[in-house]
Structure 1
């Protein structure tokens, strides 16, 4: 369940406070006082069997005695009373409750159920939504509702705050009140027994009063539900996250380097980035970033131009920018000449643009005007240090018109105290964010840059296919064979066979049982060779001297094998030797050693890791993680977030590594983990990369049978290849399949071949071409919530044609889906629309939707006729449109929307 009945939580017409009292310091007294003081305009009903009046209002002795069913109930009673109260409220017709009470983990009876479970079972038949238990409550300032026991209220604003910590609620409300920050909603989630962060994100994404969403997170439950809700919210509103738990409590034991390195916080950071949200490190950063992201001009790149009236502050800003990964804009000759025309001869002639300390207001305006016109900069930072020559307020007055008319981001830093207060206020009113120090302004710019990058990644919805040369049949057979034999750890030879099945280049390796077999293998491979010990008790061979390189003749190999046995006997006497692996010695002097792999996170499931490889991988600690599925764009972003990425470019005496080959390995590992969920850990270390490509030297894999419950689903649903169908239409073959991001160009061409009338039928307005944002919205979809099928005419050696498209967008509760269908104008009337609609109806029924709805213009006769033929009912809306509806099943979507108590 997601947003079902949450409107009664955020916008109730009446409120009951159950457990209301006048006892000082009690939760019931505080909650009632806050509700009464908040200015809520609807009826407020105190409930307590021990009182006739509370807070000057009539008090009702029981839920049954209330004059009406309250939209929202606030429960402040003892834990044992909660399940029965929820049952009574549900029977009366209440559809939302906030349970402030803690301690519902206690047993509810003889059958092992907890009070929490009993509460949810009581709510289930009535679809009554529960916030909490053990929460501070909720504030909806726009309707004057303070349904909490927080010590402070809030004024109305455009920010929504959602917190998993009650202590943070009190602290942030206090902090925000002191700074004049208001909220559209403030939610304390408590134990998230029913309403969780994903539910609230879904609701706030559609809330007109909320312009940005702030999250304080301590943990995430259902990763796919969270990612779908977060990606949906972040597409339409800035969503910022303050996540606790950056420092791991301790490293867990893992069979592979990847399993040990992929820490939970790294994974959570990757999830936030992939969802298009922005992570910040402190409460202050949370609100500063919200203010900066509210600017009307989105940031397009990482190049910052700095103008200052003092060299020192400009240098401080430049240092902070470069250290944070930003880029100092390189101003071209023409821009420098235009700047020079209005600046004194001793200005800096570079970025930072030092306009000198005696600058009058006109000089500031000249420099800002020219920098705003410079194509070399993505944003401008204005720094002013107070002087006795010109008051800061006069400078701000001169700049205000430029700031109001600007088409590019400008950040203002007014250094000092009382002398710059007027200037700071004037520039705020002009719409520019203001900061007290150069470093704070640069940090805000870097956050904006990160947010812009995350938004670009949000639009990437990769296919689960990695291209040719993936032998999934052989790979699955190998995994099944290993599991059938009870072997959960693949040695180097089998691991390389698995990689090879996915087209990842490997060094041919032979596993041998003893010394003689090793000598024979080396003679056949040809010296020089590498020999490694094979032992089920030694996950990392280098730790015990189990690897010998560059063996160039038979006697050297004999000595190496003997030395390996001696070292193993000394360091790990209990370790069993199963044999050795022998492979050709690879001499790629200019290759960089990398690591790539797969790990399993307890929350987000499979993740991919990349970083600096070799024997010192843990000590170097240079890695980044990403959630699958990946495409080359996402793989490039993963690589860019490591320090070793800087070593992959051209260096003295070494050409740049073939980056496309590195990205290709990561994309193929992404497909491997999609196809083979039994692979829970995988190392490729080292992965060599140079100008000739990438090569896996060593690999290790850990498996887990799916039946053991160790296999977790992907947090982001990949392209559903299993839904592809081939059919014959009008005597020609067609491919019907889900839409892919790669369909952008074909979709734009398809749209261009629609008549103006057909565009009006689909868009309800006149549109000549799809904007990039519209095109992305149509082709880059979240398959967990939306589906679009395209009819494709394939052409050998030429781009495929899109002939028609049908789509459905499910509501967050996955009960009802809204459909739309469009066929290329020159192909209408030939049955293609019906073919697509029948495919969509089958998909919707199988996915658990109960109803498909749609809207059509009154004169869209073809669609209305098709809908009637498919069994849709229709009714006029009174607004020139017809509402269409097709019931697929009774209930709530085949279990997809059941109340948490039923799970």
Structure 2
């Protein structure tokens, strides 16, 4: 499951505490006390047959005695009681439960399995066991054993550790910081980190998500959820266990998902301040405003150490500051010089000078985010400087962050927080916190990058590779090596240096340049040792490539290379398929050898082709190869492929080539296929071809066009949860263009998929919309989804008529201008 019924957990209407008690130090007593202290406004029911009343409230002897089903149940009883309690709750209609008790012995694990089985028929969601609880301050829902009150804030906390959760909640409370939600996952028997991310990604009260975890369960769900969440809001993760062998794999997975990894609890805590309080649109640069030269130097050093950059002011900004603050020239070593960044207001600076600086810099947006770092002086007390920051914070276009040496009193801190101004105690903490914001922006940009067009692949060659692998498995082979492996990879455009040639060091001469796929074409040249020696001299590195089937993330690539100078550590990093040229470039950019390569295009093409082989041939369970990189070329050396009838699923669903279909439609050849990231330009042209009225009917409002990030979201889809099928053809110049697109986005529970369809305006009423709708209905049904639904403007009679013809039921919605469409896709849905 995923987000199903999590709304009951995070937006509760009533709660029952089963096992509530007054016995000191018991779990039931702690949880009961915290619920009451939180002040939950809905009904609160204690359940314990030993009491007639608890804390002035009527106690109930059994779950069946409750006046109505609680939306959330807090289970504080021993494990042996869980299956029966959960069965009763599910039958009543309770939708979520938190189990506080722990599972330690084998017999208790069997009881947990029975508990999950009891919950499943009722779709009752369980947090835990071994959870310290879930807190939602907006509802005063303190459903936890944690001793610390929690204020309302903009950051969600999700953790696998009870101890760290308690520590973080205490730290935040002492500093006046809050959370939208605080979730201790416990053993994740049901609700896990992926489920929490799925819910929080669309939670309007959550501006950022902080994860603390050691392992990822259900890697595909986690990656899909993390990628979706990171497109909407910052997601930062702290993983313990950096010394274990899989840590580099986690770093790669986080980066691929757009999650920013932090390496210390201090850094994660600082982000509660920066993200939970601030409304900072992180630019890549900042302007530092302070009064003291020593403070400025210290802060600039901190920024440099964190990898931040101070903005280079345009001359117009410098002149504007000089005119607005004329006293600055008298305090500078060179009176005729213009002020710059850091902006030194002088030892005698007054609070109004800070305000004036913000005002003058406001029109110059390329000065970046504003940072005020201030050590209290007689002429500029902290409280007064804080006051002018509060009064002028809206002038900081990219946001405003503050650092006050020695701290501020609670009232001043809370006043700054109320206006969205984060407050840090040292320049180092401020600089690192800002660096994480920049990391998030860069990670999000990488998620939105449009890959270069891929070279055309001949389907027959891919079919040949698939047949070769299947035949090998059927014959009882476990590996392809030598000539067999060479033929396999050549189907994907790769050039292979045979093993015997590598062993004798008689390298083939490189003639003929680059093939259509961007991979070097090599030809035998026996008797030409001079040419072979020249190529060998030009070798940059032998990159060892291994594909292994990880127990959690499925097939993953591991790239290793020797130390570049014999002193630094050998290169080693991981990457999750599928790879495209943009992602391959990101991998290559991490290598210290990249600077020595004249052209990295052959390397990018080689890595992308290897990824295609893994994605297109599911019998590939592993591979070992060396990619020999020269200054201008790349070639595989002695590859070996492990084949098997079955392997783990890829954590990220690759492009589903099986859905490609060639048709003959209205006198021309047409292809229907899933949309690809490199279709962005073509998709932009398609939208521009639609009339303004057609765009209004499709997007429910006036649309002038879409920018890169919006188009990227339309073309870079998660094939695990979304499908967009486009119909394309070729014009008289041989250029591919889009005729129409149909899209379906499935909820994380695979319960319902929401569709949308658009057709090139010139092609309306020719049956293309019906064809595409039929295709998407077939696809959604094949996934086992129960319903396909949609909404259209009531005036869109052609779409409503098509939906009725396809069997959709039409219904009213809360908006009289919009009608709902709904089609059952299976017997269970019809029932």
> TM-score under structure 1 normalisation?
0.81
SS in 1 for 2:500: strand
Q: Cα distance 1:378–1:603, how it changes in 2: closer, same or farther (>3 A)? A: farther
Query: Does the 8 Å CA contact 1:608/1:627 hold for their aligned counterparts?
Result: yes
8 A Cα contact 1:63 1:88, kept in partner = yes
Distance 1:434 1:376 in 2: 23
Q: Partner of 2:822 in structure 1?
A: 885
2:90 is the counterpart of 1:90: yes
The equivalent of 2:155 in structure 1 is 159
User: Deviation string for 1:553-590 (max 9, x for gaps)?
Assistant: 99xx9xxxxxxxxxxxxxxxxxxxxxxxxx95454545
User: Which range moved further: 189-198 or 324-333?
Assistant: 324-333
Aligned pairs for 1:54-73 within 5 A? 54-73=54-73
Q: Is the CA contact (8 Å cut-off) linking 2:288 and 2:371 kept in structure 1?
A: yes
Q: Shift of residue 592 of structure 1?
A: 2.9
Contact 1:339 1:370 in 2 (8 A): yes
* Cα distance in 1, alignment partners of residues 40 and 355 from structure 2: 48
Alignment partners' CA distance in 2, 1:593 and 1:369? 54
Distance 1:481 1:330, change over 3 A: farther
- CA–CA distance in structure 2, aligned partners of residues 434 and 89 of structure 1: 45
State the partner residue of 2:517: none
Residue 599 (structure 1) aligned with residue 547 (structure 2):
yes
Identify unmatched segments of 5+ residues in structure 2.
Answer: 511-525
Match of 2:730 among 784, 787, 794: 794
Matched, 1:116 2:112: yes
State the structure with bigger RCO (CA 8 A, min sep 6), 1 or 2: 1
1:649 matched to 2:595: yes
Q: Flag the 1:588–1:390 CA change in 2: closer, same or farther, 3 A.
A: farther
For residue 274 of structure 1, what is the aligned residue in structure 2? 256
C-alpha distance in 1, partners of 2:144/2:132? 5
**Within the alignment, does 1:726 sit opposite 2:662 as a pair?**
yes
Structure 2 distance, partners of 1:859, 1:45, is: 50
Cα distance in 2 for partners of 1:852, 1:331 equals 54
Secondary structure of the structure 2 residue equivalent to 1:186: strand
**Whole-angstrom CA distance in 2 between matches of 1:467 and 1:292:** 46
> What is aligned with 2:333?
346
Q: Which residue is equivalent to 1:562?
A: none
Q: Post-superposition shift, 1:227?
A: 0.9
Find the counterpart in structure 1 of residue 107 from structure 2. Answer: 107
In the alignment, the residues of structure 1 paired with residue 44 and residue 416 of structure 2 have an alpha-carbon distance, to the nearest angstrom, of 43
Tell whether 2:156 aligns with 1:169: no
Please say which of residues 822-831 and 874-883 is displaced more in the overlay: 874-883
Deviations 1:403-439 (A, max 9, x none): 3222224443333456x99987776565443332222
Separation in 1 of the partners of 2:9 and 2:404? 42
Matched, 1:76 2:12: no
Match of 2:514 in 1: none
TM-superposed deviation, 1:225: 0.5
- In 2, the alpha carbon distance for the partners of 1:421 and 1:657 equals 58
Partner residue, 1:2: 2
How many Å separate the matches in 2 of 1:144 and 1:284?
27
Paired residue secondary structure (1:184)? strand
State the match for 1:636 in structure 2: 585
Matches within 5 A, 1:407-426: 407-417=397-407
Mean CA deviation greater in 473-482 or 665-674 = 473-482
In the alignment, is the contact (CA less than 8 A) between 1:461 and 1:740 conserved in 2?
no
Q: Distance in 2 between matches of 1:233 and 1:628?
A: 20
Tell me the equivalent position of 1:693. Answer: 633
Query: Alignment partner for residue 286 of structure 1, among 258, 268, 273?
Result: 268
Per the TM alignment, residue 399 of structure 1 is displaced from its structure 2 partner at its CA by: 5.5
Return the alpha-carbon distance in structure 1 between the equivalents of residues 321 and 622 of structure 2.
Answer: 57
Q: Residues 637 and 304 from structure 1, CA distance in 2 versus in 1: closer, same or farther, beyond 3 angstroms?
A: farther
Cα distance per residue 1:33-91 (max 9 Å; x no partner): 22222212222222223333333332222222223222222211121111122122222
Q: Is the 8 A contact 1:104 1:116 kept in 2?
A: no
Of 189, 207, 222, the residue aligned with 1:211 is 207
Q: Is the 8 A contact 1:595 1:614 kept in 2?
A: no
CA shift, 1:384, in A, is 3.2
Decide whether the 8 Å contact of 1:414 with 1:424 is kept in 2: no
User: In the aligned structure 2, how far is the partner of 1:678 from the partner of 1:461?
Assistant: 29
- How is 1:94-493 mapped onto 2 (pairs within 5 angstroms)? 94-103=94-103, 106-107=106-107, 114-248=110-244, 263-293=245-275, 295-301=278-284, 303-331=285-313, 342=326, 343-344=328-329, 345-346=332-333, 352-353=341-342, 355=344, 357-358=346-347, 360-361=349-350, 364=354, 377-388=367-378, 390-392=380-382, 394-395=384-385, 403-417=393-407, 431-460=420-449, 467-468=456-457, 471-473=461-463, 475-476=465-466, 479=469, 488=478
1:747 to 667, 673, 683: 683
Report whether the alignment pairs 1:624 with 2:550: no
> Is the 2:477–2:643 Cα contact (8 Å) retained in structure 1?
no
CA contact (8 A) 2:727 2:741 kept: yes
Unaligned runs of 5+ residues in structure 1 are 249-262, 513-517, 528-551, 558-582, 651-655, 895-903
> How far off is 1:285 after superposition?
2.2
Are the counterparts in 2 of residues 734 and 791 from structure 1 also a CA contact under 8 Å?
Answer: yes
CA shift for structure 1 position 119: 1.0
Query: Which residue does 2:671 correspond to in 1?
Result: 735
**Shift in Å, 1:683:** 4.7
CA distance in 2, matches of 1:824, 1:526: 51
8 Å CA contact retained: 2:450, 2:678:
no
Q: Output the CA distance in 2 between the equivalents of 1:500 and 1:614.
A: 30
| Deviation by residue 1:641-692 (Cα, 9 ceiling, x = unmatched) | 34x1xx5337xxxxx53133332232222222213445455455463242x2
Q: Say whether the 8 Å CA contact 2:287–2:343 is kept in structure 1.
A: no
Change (3 A) 1:35 1:618: farther
**How far apart are the structure 1 equivalents of 2:384 and 2:455?**
60
Number of matched pairs: 803
Query: 1:476 offset after TM fit, Å?
Result: 4.4
Distance change in 2, residues 1:811/1:491 (3 Å): closer
CA drift of 1:477 comes to 5.8
CA pair 299-239 structure 1, distance change in 2 beyond 3 A = same
Shift of 1:187: 1.6
Q: In 1, Cα distance between the equivalents of 2:315 and 2:723?
A: 51
Q: CA RMSD in A?
A: 3.6
SS at 2:748's partner residue?
coil
Secondary structure class of the residue paired with 1:21: coil
Residues in 2 aligned to 1:494 and 1:620: alpha-carbon distance in whole angstroms:
35
